[in-house]
Structure 1
Amino acid sequence: MSVFNELSSIDLAALVASRVCHDIISPVGAITNGLEVLDEEGNEDMAEFAMDLIRKSARHASAKLQFARIAFGAAGSAGSEIDLGDAQSVATGFMENEKAELVWEVERMLLPKNKVKLLLNLILIVNQCIPRGGTITVGMENGPDEPVFTLTAEGRNARVHTMIAEIIDGREPERIDAHTVQPIYAVLLAEEAGMTISLDSDGEKIMCKAQPKLNSS
């Protein structure tokens, strides 16, 4: 059992909520700034700029919230399944605002909720490994009963952050906060889904795999 299971459900919910709020503060703040510019009369050029900023920021905020709804939210009742087509849609929308390009090579099918949530959280993890951008390729082996997720991130100066590596290995980080909760949440999702996560690097390539536990039925 992971050391993260000692984290109370209330604390986990609070930290995840903080993470989601942190992600949408920037685009929502940009919308507010744009509206303030519109309130200033007599500058048509700035008004056009403000409307463009509001449109882009609204799309950005919407994409992040739609992604978070599936990656962190309930997304249906307990034991429900999620369409991987919906997961692809929200992942594509989210990555349009990131530096890396997403290549989705997973067929559309229904999978248990926690496995789909895990896949989306793995995208967040490997995206952090290529801060200067690159390509994230998402694949899946086997069928829906015992899927194996494979994610490859390639980019300049690709590296696995020490904190992420420690959490994936099941070690508790120096502090548990809104910045570290996402990989912790991924580990807990993997355990709930009867899967394990591995993360390896080879030059400017990061390989992440989630597969069923050996003793899993």
Structure 2
Amino acid sequence: MTIDPVDFASLLCSRLCHDLLSPIGALNNGLELLADETDPAMRERCMELLAESARTSAAKLKFFRLAFGAAGGFGEMVDTREAQQAIEGLFGETKRLTVNWMVDEQFLPKTAIKVLLNLAMIAGDALVRGGTLDIGGEANDGAIEIVLKAEGPRITLDDELRATLVNGAAGETVTARAAAAFLVHEMVAGADGKVLVSAPGENVLLFGAAMRAR
């Protein structure tokens, strides 16, 4: 299925706005409370909440810049430490996920970085009660392999995301919820590769992507 570029850009923007609404809304609410609050202890608590919301917003924006955007300021190869920091920033404030970074390559192509980031976001969202996210990747003989292992007490990956990751749109309309999954599929397919998702198992879910380095 071919999706109009403008329509797909709208889907990605919808996903971004959905994820930013909560921390930015909290900033707005905190400022309103601060304007009316006179108790010093409460004002201090408001300032703490404002700082937390600001950090969360900044972390999400950094992640989305690399995962969805043109990643201006980077060349065709991206330092994997940038991806690691973006993922840790995205999940760091929630304290519900432990991220184990096992990517030895210092640099990976921009496309591979975007695939890794979007898979990490999808895998993290699937860990609805928290858990551990192991992220690995390597480049060998002109090919790149990315593997993620999500492990936790409850894992939920709905059929739409699974089907979109593996098969793309497959004739169906892509929703904003599945925009990241569709982006992963299209980038990997464009690099002569494929995406694999393990069958539902007890407390463990595996994601893999193999693609040509470019």
Normalising by the residue count of structure 1, what TM-score does the alignment of the two structures yield? Answer: 0.89
SS in 2 for 1:75: coil
- Offset of residue 104 of structure 1: 0.5
- CA shift for structure 1 position 199: 0.4
Identity %: 31
Which runs of no fewer than 5 residues in structure 1 stay unpaired? none
Moved more, 105-114 or 69-78: 69-78
2: distance between equivalents of 1:189 and 1:79? 17
Kindly provide the amino acid, as one letter, of the partner of residue 20 in structure 1: L
> Which runs of 4 or more aligned residues in structure 1 lie more than 6 Å from their structure 2 counterparts after TM superposition?
none
CA distance in 1, matches of 2:29, 2:141: 45
Q: Deviations over 1:58-88 (max 9, x none)?
A: 0000000000000000013897221111111
The 1-side partners of 2:18 and 2:31 are apart by 21
Q: Work out whether residues 103 and 138 of structure 1, in 8 Å CA contact, stay in contact via their aligned partners in 2.
A: yes
Q: Partner residue of 1:126?
A: 123
C-alpha displacement of 1:21: 1.2
Structure 2 match to 1:197:
195
Contact 1:110–1:144 (8 Å) recurs in 2: no
Secondary structure at 2:167 match in 1:
coil
| Residue type at the aligned position of 1:153 | A
Shift of 1:147: 1.6
Which position in structure 2 is the counterpart of 1:155? 152
What is the alpha-carbon distance in structure 1 between the residues aligned to residue 115 and residue 143 of structure 2? 14
Give the Cα separation in 2 of the matches to 1:126 and 1:159. 9
TM-score of the superposition, structure 2-length normalised?
Answer: 0.90
- The CA distance in 1 between the partners of 2:71 and 2:9, in whole Å, is 15
Where does structure 2 lack aligned partners over 5 or more consecutive residues?
A: none
- CA distance, structure 1, for counterparts of residue 85 and residue 36 of structure 2: 37
Cα-Cα RMSD: 2.2
AA at the equivalent of 2:20: I
Query: What is the DSSP-based 3-state SS (H/G/I as helix, E as strand, rest coil) of the residue aligned with 2:177?
Result: coil
Contact 1:81 1:111 in 2 (8 A): yes
**Aligned twin of 2:176:** 178
Output the CA distance in 1 between the equivalents of 2:46 and 2:161: 38
- 1:157 and 1:204 in contact (8 A); partners too: yes
Compute the displacement of 1:166 (Å).
1.4
SS at match of 1:135: strand
